């Protein structure tokens, strides 16, 4: 197996994990916001501001999952892969900041953001920097 095909398999695997992570936590966050907040952050009071914040974060997760689905169809689209690396990475850092500093959330929420950051780093590590797109 050639090095580039191993790299493509690794990129596809990370993109599939991003899709699953984005949909598993994004869709329930949109549909069952109050239940998600009660299960992940029971100490944070639920109000309209928190509701809209969680729905916005959930919509962004679904959006990045859709972007990853599009990237899976064409790995030669380097601009989309770069956007996913930057967007998912910054999105996870913002999540870590807001959950740790602002909301003082529990370990389960911080773990979700940590896995998101690890997925962004993995995609960054497997990105084919020296190759030309076809």
**Per-residue confidence band for 17, with pLDDT thresholds at 50, 70 and 90:** very high
pLDDT bin (cut points 50, 70, 90) of residue 76 is confident
The pTM for the full model equals 0.84
Q: What is the pLDDT of residue 53?
A: 84
Q: What is the mean pLDDT of residues 86-108?
A: 85
Q: Residue 21: its pLDDT value, please? A: 93
Give the list of residues 6+ apart from residue 61 with CB closer than 8 angstroms, or none. Answer: 21, 22, 23, 25, 26, 29, 91
Band of pLDDT at residue 4, cut at 50, 70 and 90: low
Is 1's pLDDT higher than 50? no
CA pair distance 83, 79, nearest whole angstrom: 6
* Residue-level pLDDT at 133: 56
> Is-contact 54 37, C-beta < 8 A?
yes
- Checking if the pLDDT of 19 tops 90, the result is yes
Report the run of H or E that residue 12 belongs to, with start and end: helix 3-31
């Amino acid at each position: 197996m050639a090095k580039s095909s191993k790299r493509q398999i690794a990129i596809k695997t990370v993109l599939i994990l991003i899709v699953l992570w984005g949909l598993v936590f994004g869709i329930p966050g949109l549909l069952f916001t109050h239940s998600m907040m009660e299960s992940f952050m029971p100490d944070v009071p639920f109000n309209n501001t928190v509701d809209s914040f969680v729905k916005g974060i959930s919509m962004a997760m679904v959006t990045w999952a859709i972007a990853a689905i599009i990237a899976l169809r064409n790995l030669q689209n380097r601009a989309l892969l770069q956007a996913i690396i930057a967007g998912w990475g910054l999105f996870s850092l913002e999540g870590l900041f807001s959950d740790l500093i602002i909301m003082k959330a529990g370990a389960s929420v911080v773990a979700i953001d940590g896995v998101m950051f690890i997925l962004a780093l993995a995609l960054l590590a497997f990105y084919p920097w020296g190759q030309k797109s076809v």
